[in-house]
Amino acid sequence: MTRKAFFFFFCTPIFFTVVCFSRPASGERFDEIFQPSWAADHLLYDGEVVQLKLDNFTGTGFGSKSKYLFGKATAEIKLAPGDSAGTVTAFYMSSDGPNHHEFDFEFLGNSSGEPILVQTNVYVNGVGNREQRVGLWFDPTADFHSYGILWNRQQVVKKKTKSWERELAFPDDQPMGIYSSIWNADDWATQGGRVKIDWSHAPFVTTYRGFWVDACECPAGTGAGAGEEDMKRCAGQGNEQGRRYWWQEPMMEELSLHQSHQLLWVRNHHLVYDYCADSARFPAAPPECEP
């Protein structure tokens, strides 16, 4: 069983949920949803369990066979144990092309005994630079935890400020695939690249199970944008029953009071980097960072 915990990362104004909760490791078969995206010989699939391996030859990754416009994707992940400095395990959603949208989780490997950091980022029309880093207060290498990305027309945004509406497009018009990978990032991942990968500890193996996708499949949206009918259908408009999807219900459009308190706890106790507070990098605060 996974350990019971709930926590939320807020990438202003984009909102990510990462939820760790107790439930059986069940869901959909990996090969029904995903396929290897590169270095298939470094991806091991045995029933319900998938392993991605990084060695001094290559890393590997997988991606969903379909793309989606709104919904939720989760996977139970156990990160590579021990001294994993310089490695990155990424779990993310992304559309295609240079003007893509993307929601990132990047788990940054570290030396043995040091906290694992998770970095979030958001790309809108190909522009990112919205990193936040949080130190995890549990050991993500010792057990499986369930990580989920929830995306709808409201919930990915905690608050839609006037500056956001004026300066930035809202990422609701490009279907995204679901991806994960492990790779060598020792030029930046651990202490700004000062700590390199110790290949004597290879292979570095990240393990997955319990894949679950509950999202609006968007088969026509394989390019830069979704078709008009897909946009309406995935927004809960004009579908055959005229029904709303669960992620469009009013209760899903904002955090509950309890979730808001959890978010504040994480930010107050475990946030180690916030691009909104980096005046050296951004002398003028990005518009979405304004209160």
Does residue 6 contact residue 261 with C-beta atoms inside 8 Å?
no
Please identify every residue annotated as catalytic: 102, 106
Nearest to residue 107, comparing CAs of 94, 95, 121?
121
Residues sharing a CB contact under 8 Å with residue 61, sequence separation 6 or more, in sequence order: 36, 37, 38, 39, 43, 52, 90, 179, 180, 181, 182, 183
Residue 199, helix vs strand vs coil: helix
Residue 192, helix vs strand vs coil: helix
Say how far residue 257 (Cα) sits from the centre of its chain: 23
Q: Phi and psi of 41, rounded to 5°?
A: -75, -10
